Structure 1
Amino acid sequence: MNRPSRSQSPPAEAERLREAFAEAALDVTPSVVPMAAIERAGRRLKRRRRAAVLGATCGVLLAPLAVVVLQGGISPDESERVAPPAGSSGPSPSVSAERAGKVRVVTPGERVEVSPGTEIWLTEDGKHWSEPDQPTQFRSVTDGNLDLSGPGVSLQESGQEGGVSFLSGVFYGQGEPARVDIETVAGDIDGTALTLAGRPGWGVWYAEVKVPESVTSSSDPPTGVTEKVTVYDSAGGVIASQEYPT
């Protein structure tokens, strides 16, 4: 007598399971992929990466600029505040550069050549000078002829060949000389001051001037050339000044 089989073979049972799973899968509807959200997330990521790259690049570029500003010690705004206003000028010195060097400190007896054959030298008792074909001359500051208690300027003039006049004198007053202005019939000129070391309160001034025939006096060589002599200190103050009628 034949009895039914208690179990099926393994291959037949596996095949039935695959068919059952396939039928179940056909009944499942897949969800929609969120493409829009994925694209938005991708764009945000790109922006973040771009911002990070730009930030790093700016940092590299700004670092040398910061070093330059720190080394210079001044910012662009500060440089504008430091610069003087347009049209303004700084303080000018009392004695211009072209007039500097018109004062000499000499030792007693040191001879200063004014021109060939003309010399001046100072001693403690006054002014000495010599001219071509002339004896040595002297102007004392100790014989009482000059009142050194107040400011003053003396004058000696002598005409030389070629219409040239040699002008000189003694000046005295308070202060250290820095320049000498001389007004003449031929125009204003700069003189030279000579002083002894130690500031004795007096000194000597001199100049030579070419006098045109149109303004010269009737005398030959010309005389009456000097109109005014003023001696200034370095601050522009007047040490001594004297006018002379011509």
Structure 2
Amino acid sequence: MNRPSRPQSPTSEPEGLYEELHEAFAEAALDVTPSAVPIAAIERAGRRRRRRRTAAALGAACGVLLVPLAVVVLRADLSSGQGESERVTPPAASAGPTPSTSTELAGKVRIVTPGERVEVSPGTEIWLTEDGKHWSEPDHPTQFRSVSDGNLDLSSPGVSVQESTHDGVSFLSGIFHGPGEPARVEVRTVAGYIDGTALTLAGEPGWGVWYAEVKVPQSQTPTSDSLTAGVAEKVTVYDSAGGVIASQEFAT
């Protein structure tokens, strides 16, 4: 009895095929040149990551340190009675005038037009014309002192004075003449030094009028009105540089 024949095993053919493919892949791999490893880029990326980690760690540490400090400041404010909403307002600058010192040129000078009346005090006025000084006072007629009748020598510096007293206040005035533009009038009186005011016409006429008012103690108040009552002891007119334009002492 004949036995059926066993079919041939197919395993030998695939094994040969696998070996051929392996050899082919190996040859192909040998022909491939690997690219260079980006060492510099890797190092830069690593440094950036390390810096970010360091900055994050420092920020966290600073936050931990600042929290107790904020608590301490808040407690100090609360203990002193200051809340978070309290605001500190700087003191406002004073709106009042700054007191002048004795070294300042505190006098006044006013340029007026001919015939312009200047009120010195209620009821008392002074005005200038080209020929001299005019003034009026309560209960007194208008008075006049000329600069052109020859009574004043305008060729040399000088100061005149007229005085009157009402209710304990002495009104002092006069004519000054000399080279230069006036900037300050200083009057020495029996009650001390005071600053006077100068009136001049435009165009540098070479003369002007000064006036002042001073309250005199009862013991030194003149007993009658006169042209030289003795309240003014000396009058000096200065220019802007501190030079003397005219100065005159009066008998007391």
What TM-score do you get using the length of structure 2 for normalisation? Answer: 0.59
What is the alpha-carbon root mean square deviation over aligned residues?
A: 3.7
Shift of 1:48: 5.2
Q: Are 1:219 and 2:217 matched, yes or no?
A: no
Counterpart residue number, 1:106 = 112
Counterpart residue number, 2:98 = none
In structure 1, give the amino acid aligned to 2:45. L
Counterpart residue number, 1:187 = 192
SS in 2 for 1:245: coil
Report the Cα distance in structure 1 between the residues aligned to 2:111 and 2:182, rounded to whole angstroms: 10
Counterpart residue number, 1:138 = 144
Moved over 6 A (4+): 49-52
Structure 2 matches for 1:32-43, cutoff 5 A?
42=42
Structure 2 matches for 1:14-163, cutoff 5 A?
14=17, 17=19, 42=42, 44-47=44-47, 99=106, 102-160=108-166, 162-163=167-168
Q: Are 1:206 and 2:205 matched, yes or no?
A: no
Contact conserved, 1:153 with 1:229, CA < 8 A, in 2?
A: yes
For structure 1, the residue ranges without an aligned partner over 5 or more in a row are 1-7, 22-37, 53-93
Report the Cα distance in structure 2 between the residues aligned to 1:221 and 1:137, rounded to whole angstroms: 14
In structure 2, give the amino acid aligned to 1:167. L
Aligned length: 179
Contact conserved, 2:222 with 2:230, CA < 8 A, in 1?
A: no
Contact conserved, 2:163 with 2:225, CA < 8 A, in 1?
A: no
| Counterparts in 2 of 1:178 and 1:12: CA distance versus 1, 3 Å | closer
SS in 1 for 2:16: helix
In structure 1, give the amino acid aligned to 2:197. T
Contact conserved, 1:163 with 1:221, CA < 8 A, in 2?
A: no
Report the Cα distance in structure 2 between the residues aligned to 1:238 and 1:221, rounded to whole angstroms: 30
Q: Deviations over 1:199-234 (max 9, x none)?
A: 1010000111110124x1563569311122121222
Report percent identity of matched pairs: 71
Shift of 1:194: 0.9
Report the Cα distance in structure 2 between the residues aligned to 1:231 and 1:50, rounded to whole angstroms: 84
Contact conserved, 1:109 with 1:123, CA < 8 A, in 2?
A: yes
What TM-score do you get using the length of structure 1 for normalisation? Answer: 0.60
Report the Cα distance in structure 2 between the residues aligned to 1:212 and 1:229, rounded to whole angstroms: 20
Counterpart residue number, 1:171 = 176
